Amino acid sequence: MARKRLKSFATMLLAMAVITASAIVSGGQASAAATPVKGFYVNGTTLYDATGKPFVMRGVNHAHTWFKNDLAAAIPAIAATGANTVRIVLSDGGQWTRDDVASVQNIIALCDQYNLITMLEVHDATGSDSASTLNRAVDYWISIKDALIGKEDRVIVNIANEWFGSWSSDGWASGYQAAIPALRNAGIKNTLVVDAAGWGQYPNSIFEKGLAVASTDPLKNMIFSIHMYEYAGGDAATVKSNIDNALALNIPVIIGEFGHKHSSGDVDEATILSYTQQKGVGWLAWSWYGNGGGVEYLDLATGPAGSLTDWGKTVVNSTYGTLATSQLSGIYTTPGYQPVPDNGNTPVPTVPAAPTGLTAAAGNGQAVLSWNASSGATSYAVKRAAVSGGPYTTIASNVAATSYTDTGLTNGNTYYYVVSAANSAGTSSHSTQASVTPQGTPVPSSSLVLQYRAGDTNSSDNQIKPYFNIKNNGTSPVNLSSLKLRYYFTKDGNQTMNAWIDWAQVGSSNIQTAFGSVSGTNADTYVELSFTAAAGSIAPGGQTGDIQLRISKADWSNFNENNDYSFDATKTSYTDWNKVTLYNNGDLVWGIEP
């Protein structure tokens, strides 16, 4: 029988008495594990990944331990939402079937394959005030530490889901003050997550005792988690004050779970999404599918690889959803990244290297710049000159993305650009210069916007994987059957080309592919996507969601995408991209043809 999860907040409210947890006893030792690597680390209220880039979680919870056979279907579908993190429900055997070390290694490997950071949590201690249940979770982590050590750059450990159901701080704090050192003494260096007391909904425990708990971590590598349902997230004022008060401790906080409503009231999910974006706070929506016991409305999807529910569409497609705000960890977007062994020291940021691969594409009165990410960079500055070699004038600073569009230029004039990278340690030297002469070809003006992200950032393998999302910013619906989009590339040979739609929110069977020839800069071929009537329409303010295209040659030989007009390996989350074109009833409405 499938397990069902129901948060019993009636029980929580009855359990208001303070129950002091007893000390945690260390568990047994696991066999020798892999060498630790430098992984996620904390500095102030920011969580950094192993490349030194700030990492803001955007993702979902997946109730794996109750649906152990669905992992292979669920993880690719979750990745297709643009999520950068998935929080996985595990069992230590206390209430449900134990997830052993081999199964956890399999989970991590599959998430890694789909560029998802894995947050693991033990669910058996949910709502319990007993130190023995927290002790059992600690023992569990120590018993499977071979799956954790050496994966510090891609695995985060949420010690125990919603341990300590009472709305009090002392017992909660004393429990974790024993649990954290036990994990560290066992050699577990992964970033740790501690849920608030009161079934995750009593953030006062963090405000009152958070610093005392954090002081017990010798690595200073932990974050707090608030679960925002009807009590911790019921209205805008509550959402904002809970986030602000937690950040005031100068320790990162995430919203480890949240819904749009719950058993005892509404949740202000709109403020959770918008305010976390404003504050750079991570979140993980509950949950992918499989809820029962009266909270089925919390399902984000209709099954492990099912279509999105209305709740799922909010989390994925809304203004502050995963497609719009999620950024993959730098370990998946930094060319040539290799895990670095941990020498036992906390990583200290160094001045980033100068950006490489700066390109400039001409538009009508504008220049579209893009460059490769610099390891450790937190922002970029763009500089422009009227003559080659400068002097340069800064035209944009604190640019978070690896692209920038310079507008208001004069067609026919040549402009020269360099970019520098910066972080808390300083600013890099300039990149190699790129020049561009804006052209008079008009850029289409339309309510339709075509977004792109690179599903595969490897520029020299045997497949091209461009992903697309079409947005309708107009006031009228647009039939998808009237639209066609084109992606331009060099096919690097004379082989027959093949194309597949691996997944699409509008239905892969409702999208057709065709190839054509073109003569232009960095392009000799395009692939055209068109839609059947069954694909439906894009509502005003709506979007298609993920469209995942894959291209290969008949002989599966390699491409060289570095010279492809539409390819940009730095765009790992959806970005407006005018090097892919969109047509409505045959008229160009978005993008610049090569």
Question: Which residue is catalytic, options 121, 152, 230, 257?
Answer: 257
Distance CA 385, CA 139 (A): 61
Distance CA 32, CA 138 (A): 18
Angle between helix axes 170-185 and 204-214 (nearest 10 degrees) is 30
According to DSSP, residue 351 is labeled P
Task: Reply yes or no: is the peptide bond before residue 442 cis, omega within 30 of 0.
Answer: no
- Three-state DSSP state, 423: strand
Could you tell me which of 125, 149, 158 has the C-alpha nearest to residue 59? 158
Beta carbons of 151 and 120 less than 8 angstroms apart = no
162 tagged catalytic: yes
Distance CA 296, CA 390 (A): 61
Ordered strands of the 448-454 beta sheet = 497-504, 547-553, 466-472, 448-454, 575-576
Give me 566's structure tokens: 């539409």
Distance CA 61, CA 132 (A): 25
| 586 to 267, 518, 590: CA distances (angstroms) | 44, 16, 12
230 tagged catalytic: no
State which amino acid sits at residue 442.
Answer: P
Q: Which residues contact 344 (CB under 8 A, 6 or more apart)?
A: none
Beta carbons of 181 and 187 less than 8 angstroms apart = no
Q: From the CB of residue 585, how many other CB atoms can be counted at a distance below 10 Å?
A: 10
Question: Which residue is catalytic, options 152, 162, 230, 561?
Answer: 162
Q: Which residues make beta-bridge pairs with 372?
A: none
Distance CA 461, CA 557 (A): 8
H/E stretch holding 102 reads helix 101-113
Q: From the CB of residue 428, how many other CB atoms can be counted at a distance below 10 Å?
A: 20
The set of catalytic residues is: 162, 257
